[in-house]
Amino acid sequence: MSITWNYENFDAAVTSANSSYMNILADVLPSFIDGASDSTVPVLSLPSTTVDLSEIAAHASRIRATSEDVLVLGVGGSSLGGQALIRACGPYSDDHPKVTFLDNLAPVGFPHLLSTLNPGHTHIIAISKSGGTIDTHAQLALAMKWLQEAHCELKDHITVITEPKPSALTKLADLHDLPRLGHSILLGGRYSVLSNVGLLPAAIAGVDIARVRAGAKAVIEQMISAKSIIDIPAAVGAAHIISQHKQNKINISVMLPYADRLSKFGEWYCQLWAESLGKEGVGTTPVIALGPLDQHSQLQLYMEGTRDKSYSFITIDRVDDPAMHLPQTLSDIGMGSLTGLTLHDIVTAMSEGTRHALVETGQPVRHAHLSALNEENIGALFMHFFLETLFGGALLGVDPYSQPGVERCKILAKEFLEKLK
Identify the H or E element spanning 101.
strand 98-102
Catalytic residue, candidates 137, 325, 369, 410 = 410
275 as an active site residue: the answer is: yes
Q: Among residues 198, 217, 201, 194, which one has the least CA distance to residue 92?
A: 201
Alpha helix positions (H), 40-125: 42-45, 53-66, 80-89, 109-115
Identify the H or E element spanning 134.
helix 134-149
Asked if residues 98 and 68 have their Cβ atoms less than 8 Å apart, the reply is yes
369 as an active site residue: the answer is: no
Dist CA 248 CA 414 (whole Å): 40
Q: Among residues 2, 5, 4, which one has the least CA distance to residue 366?
A: 5
Helices 233-248 and 20-35 cross at an angle (nearest 10°) of 140
296 as an active site residue: the answer is: yes
Helix (H, G, I), strand (E, B) or coil at 195: coil
DSSP H helix total and E strand total for the chain? 15, 10
Catalytic residue, candidates 112, 151, 227, 296 = 296
Dist CA 407 CA 405 (whole Å): 5
Catalytic residue, candidates 163, 275, 375, 388 = 275
Residues facing residue 100 across a β-bridge: 71
User: Among all residues, which ones are annotated catalytic?
Assistant: 275, 296, 410
